[in-house]
Homo-oligomer: A and B are copies of this chain.
Amino acid sequence: MLLSTKGDYGVRALIDLAKHAGEGPVQRSDIARRRQLPESYLDHLLAQLRRDGFIRSTRGPGGGHELTRAPAEITLLAVLECLEGSLAPIGCVAEANRGGESMCGQSWVWQGIYDDMRKRLEGITIAELVEHERAHERAAVANYSI
């Protein structure tokens, strides 16, 4: 598996923050409840996202977490690399892209796959994921009303 729950949960948390942008800080407990994530685990992910500048946090009553940028300016690639580290599919590619020169015999295959994937992930923003989720919600409501 290329992705662990770190990346998965972290993206969901950012989607939640994006959906509530402009409403003041969003509390960890609210994110955890709405997205059904373990709150104390979410804690670590938010810490990482803050360290990398995706969110800002404030303490005290009424405190919480907010995006530092517009959702349309946060790419899925950036978020996942923040939370998961390198997304390289195989060790030799990870080393090569860290500036190393080691290239195993099949790395040309994996480098191509890696480049494709990064390109795709770079083209998707949190804003698009929010929009996708909203469309899904509308579809669900439409189904229900039939």
Contacts and interface: CB of A to CB of B under 8 A. Distances in A.
B109 A124 contact: yes
Interface in A27-48: none
A31 to B, nearest CB: 14
Given A2-B1, A2-B89, A15-B105, A120 B112 contact: yes
- How many copies of this chain does the complex contain? 2
Given A1-B2, A1-B91, A2-B90, A11 B120 contact: no
A81 interface: no
Interface string A112-142: 1100110011001000010011001000000
A67 to B, nearest CB: 17
A79 to B, nearest CB: 11
A104 B1 contact: no
A47 to B, nearest CB: 22
A83 to B, nearest CB: 13
Interface of A: 1-3, 7-8, 11-12, 15, 76, 88-91, 94, 104-106, 108-110, 112-113, 116-117, 120-121, 124, 129, 132-133, 136
> Which 3 A-B residue pairings sit nearest by Cβ, starting from the closest?
A2-B89, A2-B2, A3-B90
